[in-house]
Structure 1
Amino acid sequence: MQVDIGNALASVADPGVGADALDVLDDRVAIAHDRIAAGMADDDFGYASLNLPERTDAAAIESAVEPLADSDAVLTVGIGGSALGAATVSTALGPSDTTHRVLDNVDPEAVAEVLDDLPLDSTAVNAVSRSGTTAETLSNFLVVRDAMESAGVDWTDQTIVTTGEAGPLRALAEEHDLPALDVPDGVPGRFSALSAVGLVPAAIQGHDIEAVLSGGQAAMDSLSDSLYDCPAYAYGALAYALDQRGASVNAVMPYAERLEPFAEWFAQLWAESLGKDGLGQTPARALGATDQHSQLQLYRAGPRDKMVTLVRASERTDREIPETDVEDLAYLGGTGLGELLDAEFEATEASLAAAGRPNVRIELDRLDARGIGELLYAMEVACVLAGELYGIETFNQPAVEWGKNAARGLLGADGEFPEADAVAEKERLVVE
């Protein structure tokens, strides 16, 4: 994997980072690297995430999913980090005879549509919750279980859970002898893609999850004490530095349909980890080349408060564009869709640079198992580094917990939830 930060330098972009400032930043990266390395060595909370390529047991995951290997579909029931990593890995690895669907919202109409669309008698249910008490996940799981029972399907034959050592989901697995895998200790959900949390659906689909971990290991091996030698640190340091100079929005724009869920995964990683103490860059999601026609106008000519992250794979399969006798389209004939997509990528990059808008290129060798593992690990490291530079607690999410407590109180859960009082106290000015 390569990261090109040239278009984020002050000689090109405004805001941009000057060469001298980059050297000063590199000194801070060296200090942050020492803290990160120490946290990894001690398996400290959060930093333990960065050990997953070495710690995750691919064989154990493959053994656990073996009874479900002949499923026609796999349905992941989770939310946030318990679903986005799995969706990202599975989608990036491409088509399979086993489709993958996700229930990560409690919109009743959407849930009904997904269940109506699945062959329930040959669908593997992948339930994921560390606590086993996540309201959205457990509600959806109960709905899925009820749908299977109503269809005469024994849900216990088709369910695998990934959860903590204790809790309702673990107890359910023990009661019904369900295959169960562990959510790794010390790993926040949004950093858990390279564990059973993110790899079970891909394993059921028959993808090479060992190669995913190998890609993560490659990115892990590239860690060094300088942003000039480490693509992940280069990205994290530049994103932080650009934010400090006014680029408070980070628009992530992969040029591959199979990486669209990656942008969603990145958005949670970046927002939940770095959005604290009045700090943090706001992630925005885009898709190349589609959003050149819907968002690029703003990125190139709107407020100078954005950096654009362009992501692509160097190698891909292509499909030839047929020759045509339409004169205005003749230049397309005989080229390929991939060639056109590359031209769109490079034109967007040049367009932003010409307007003095900072952008960074992330380039994978190939969009395969190794490539997605490398990308996910590198972005996690970049996020941790940025957190060190901001001086914030990267691995907690107090604002999210506040909202969860408010919802529990509204639904009448046992316990005291003063956060729920804020609902009744809402200021209202209704226009009809």
Structure 2
Amino acid sequence: MSQVISVEIVRTPNQEQVDTVIGDLVRDSAPSKLTAADPTLWGPAAESEASIRLAWTTLHETSRPLVAEITALREELLAEGVDRVVLAGMGGSSLAPEVITGTAGVPLVVLDTTDPGQVADALAGDLERTVLVVSSKSGGTVETDSHRRIFEEAFTAAGVDAASRIVVVTDPGSPLEAASREAGYRRVFLADPHVGGRYSALTAFGLVPAGLAGADVGALLDEAAAAAPLVAADSPDNPAVVLAATFAVAHAHGAEKVVFADTGSGISGFGDWAEQLIAESTGKDGTGLLPVVVEGPGAPGFVDAGSDATTVAIGPATGSSTLSVQGPLGAQFLVWEYATALVGRVLEINPFDQPDVEAAKKAARSLLDSPAASSASPAFTDGPIEVYPSEGWLSPDVKTVAEAIRALVAAAPAHGYLSVQAYLDRVDDSSFALVRPELARRAHLQTTFGWGPRFLHSTGQYHKGGHQNGVFLQLTGASETQLDVPGRPYDLSTLQLAQALGDGQVLAERGRPVLRLHLTDRVAGLAQLVEAIQEDGS
């Protein structure tokens, strides 16, 4: 197999069945039909959506003209002394640019949060040197709209012409396009409307912010172009076919979780991008694949993965990995997109819709309209932590955080999972991510960690639409910063809490146990949380 991108099956107990699925996909010409944008691959129910979502297979060609346009704008901005790029975007609008710039080693400030402290830190940078990239297919994404409003006001207050410092990426004909042109923003880039957000890495959504920050996006397209003939081939050596077949067979045997560890790929944060692609594409109709991104090949959940998980090394194979995928970032993007679309065919789901994402948004909007609904009393308080369980699963005899966490873990069904969701500052509060391996080690469950609200645009679909065997630990915290959203009747703290409560409400309505721990002091709360997790018996 060509080393442009390679997939190695390190071990599998069901190789004969994997070979059968590979043969089926090849015999059905699924890869070449996918490349030709055949919308019938996923059945009649998916055909309408698929017919407007398949332009991503040729982006390595169709996105080429963007490279010169991005380079020209970057040079203009640099000539004006503008060299700091801030990206306001959620889900597919932020995850790919973050991976691209992280891998390239160029700075990009990513705002995919409603935490007022994190947004305030971004505002505290030198606005004289800053350009804001606003990325949204419609412009209606509440987080991104809030960021745009806040920065526009801040630019003006600093004596900077706001319109000259805002660059927009959106779909043609969107409300954001019209508003941006009316406002006279510096540049409006129109993305291909026939590409969904999680498949948009090689569209303007991925390339514009990364290219303005200094990444070589032309080289990224070259990497994808080199892999394109491999993934389009109706061949058993097609790396995307091998991945799709392996995951589909594993899923059929109860291994619906896919654990990612970087083993020296040189790619920064790839698992976070793949997490959205796979979870949001497959997690629906009570089925799907749940990505679990771990800290490394020696992390809990990877070295001790059970029968419910497939382990994937992004980089060289390890003794614990089921699969190893090696290749440059552009090639990885394309291979995983093809693999995800193909596994959708095998699982008989539509990989291009997200039917359960809107439920949490509606619940959050309802809470914003009725703030009193957000003021429930805690079940109890333990030091700097207020404890709010959803109804029906936590005994009133539980009086400590350690006991509550143990009860949450015990509420998980066999082969279930634990999801930790931190509605906090993922820069200043980054240490909270350390609770994932601690919990996984003690819970003996596959454990995911997501920063809220960004995971709502990622694994949030799976939590509500996929296998209903998760239990959920929400972390919220008091903020010392208040940041109003201009033109809106709420501040960011209120929005952030409404998003946590709204998602928790929807999960509870689906019968899933939710435990929200609210930290009245984030520093002291983290210390107590770690102590509670490490308490004997937890």
Task: Compute the TM-score of the two structures, normalised by the length of structure 1.
Answer: 0.76
Q: What letter matches 1:87 in structure 2?
A: E
How big is the shift at 1:110? 1.5
Structural mapping, 1:290-305, within 5 Å: 292=298, 294-295=299-300, 298-305=301-308
Q: 1:261 to 1:26 in 2, by over 3 A?
A: same
Match of 2:323 in 1: 360
Cα distance in 2, alignment partners of residues 430 and 307 from structure 1: 28
Q: 1:144-174: CA deviations, max 9, x gaps?
A: 2222222222222221100122344212321
Matched, 1:393 2:350: yes
Q: 1:358-397: CA deviations, max 9, x gaps?
A: 5111112xxxxxx211111111111111111111110000
Match for 2:104 among 77, 93, 104?
A: 93
Structural mapping, 1:271-420, within 5 Å: 271-288=279-296, 292=298, 294-295=299-300, 298-312=301-315, 349-350=318-319, 352=320, 359-364=322-327, 371-412=328-369
- Aligned CA-pair RMSD: 2.9
Tell me, yes or no, if the aligned pair for 2:17 and 2:249 is still in contact at 8 Å: no
Q: 1:189-209: CA deviations, max 9, x gaps?
A: 111010110011222133321
Which structure would you say has the larger RCO, counting Cα contacts within 8 Å and 6 or more residues apart? 1
How big is the shift at 1:261? 2.3
Match for 1:63 among 72, 78, 81?
A: 72
Q: 1:421 to 1:168 in 2, by over 3 A?
A: same
Match of 1:102 in 2: 110
Tell me, yes or no, if the aligned pair for 1:65 and 1:200 is still in contact at 8 Å: no
Match of 1:39 in 2: 37
Equivalences, count = 364
Tell me, yes or no, if the aligned pair for 1:8 and 1:360 is still in contact at 8 Å: yes
Q: 1:230 to 1:79 in 2, by over 3 A?
A: same
Cα distance in 2, alignment partners of residues 431 and 46 from structure 1: 37
Q: What letter matches 1:408 in structure 2?
A: R
Secondary structure of 2:35 counterpart:
helix
Cα distance in 1, alignment partners of residues 123 and 32 from structure 2: 48
How big is the shift at 1:256? 4.4
Q: 1:187 to 1:361 in 2, by over 3 A?
A: same
Secondary structure of 1:284 counterpart:
strand
How big is the shift at 1:241? 1.7
How big is the shift at 1:253? 1.0
Q: What letter matches 1:73 in structure 2?
A: R
Cα distance in 2, alignment partners of residues 310 and 137 from structure 1: 33
Cα distance in 2, alignment partners of residues 421 and 372 from structure 1: 32
Cα distance in 2, alignment partners of residues 391 and 67 from structure 1: 48
Query: More deviation in 106-115 or 126-135?
Result: 106-115
Q: What letter matches 1:6 in structure 2?
A: I
Match of 1:78 in 2: 89
Task: Compute the TM-score of the two structures, normalised by the length of structure 2.
Answer: 0.62
Match of 2:205 in 1: 197
Structural mapping, 1:107-126, within 5 Å: 107-116=115-124, 118-126=125-133
How big is the shift at 1:75? 0.4
Match of 1:170 in 2: 177
Tell me, yes or no, if the aligned pair for 1:232 and 1:379 is still in contact at 8 Å: yes
Match of 1:318 in 2: none
How big is the shift at 1:275? 0.4
Cα distance in 1, alignment partners of residues 347 and 294 from structure 2: 25
Structural mapping, 1:151-300, within 5 Å: 151-178=158-185, 179-226=187-234, 228-256=236-264, 259-288=267-296, 292=298, 294-295=299-300, 298-300=301-303
How big is the shift at 1:422? 10
Secondary structure of 1:5 counterpart:
strand
Tell me, yes or no, if the aligned pair for 2:281 and 2:340 is still in contact at 8 Å: yes
Query: More deviation in 240-249 or 420-429?
Result: 420-429
Tell me, yes or no, if the aligned pair for 2:259 and 2:309 is still in contact at 8 Å: yes
Q: 1:406 to 1:429 in 2, by over 3 A?
A: closer
How big is the shift at 1:429? 10
Cα distance in 2, alignment partners of residues 392 and 185 from structure 1: 22
Q: What letter matches 1:216 in structure 2?
A: A
Taking every aligned residue pair, what percent have the same amino acid on both sides? 28
Tell me, yes or no, if the aligned pair for 1:252 and 1:285 is still in contact at 8 Å: yes
Q: What letter matches 1:127 in structure 2?
A: V
Give the unaligned 5+ runs of structure 2: 41-49, 370-487, 489-501, 518-538
Q: 1:258 to 1:137 in 2, by over 3 A?
A: farther
Secondary structure of 1:300 counterpart:
coil
Tell me, yes or no, if the aligned pair for 2:258 and 2:291 is still in contact at 8 Å: yes
Secondary structure of 1:76 counterpart:
strand
How big is the shift at 1:423? 5.3
Q: What letter matches 1:90 in structure 2?
A: T
Q: 1:257-290: CA deviations, max 9, x gaps?
A: 86342211110000000101111111011233xx
Give the unaligned 5+ runs of structure 1: 11-16, 313-344, 353-357, 365-370, 414-419
Cα distance in 1, alignment partners of residues 157 and 266 from structure 2: 34
User: Which has a greater percent of helix?
Assistant: 1
Tell me, yes or no, if the aligned pair for 2:305 and 2:311 is still in contact at 8 Å: no
Matched, 1:7 2:10: yes
Q: What letter matches 1:44 in structure 2?
A: S
Cα distance in 1, alignment partners of residues 39 and 60 from structure 2: 14
Q: 1:421 to 1:193 in 2, by over 3 A?
A: closer
Cα distance in 2, alignment partners of residues 306 and 105 from structure 1: 30
Match of 1:136 in 2: 143
Q: What letter matches 1:359 in structure 2?
A: T
Q: What letter matches 1:403 in structure 2?
A: A
Cα distance in 2, alignment partners of residues 422 and 235 from structure 1: 33
How big is the shift at 1:46? 1.9
Match of 1:336 in 2: none
How big is the shift at 1:176? 3.3
Match of 1:325 in 2: none
Tell me, yes or no, if the aligned pair for 2:85 and 2:130 is still in contact at 8 Å: yes
Cα distance in 2, alignment partners of residues 379 and 212 from structure 1: 15
Tell me, yes or no, if the aligned pair for 1:256 and 1:287 is still in contact at 8 Å: no
Q: 1:289-342: CA deviations, max 9, x gaps?
A: xx62x42xx433353211111112xxxxxxxxxxxxxxxxxxxxxxxxxxxxxx
Q: What letter matches 2:24 in structure 1?
A: R
Q: 1:53 to 1:185 in 2, by over 3 A?
A: same
Query: More deviation in 104-113 or 144-153?
Result: 144-153
How big is the shift at 1:64? 4.3
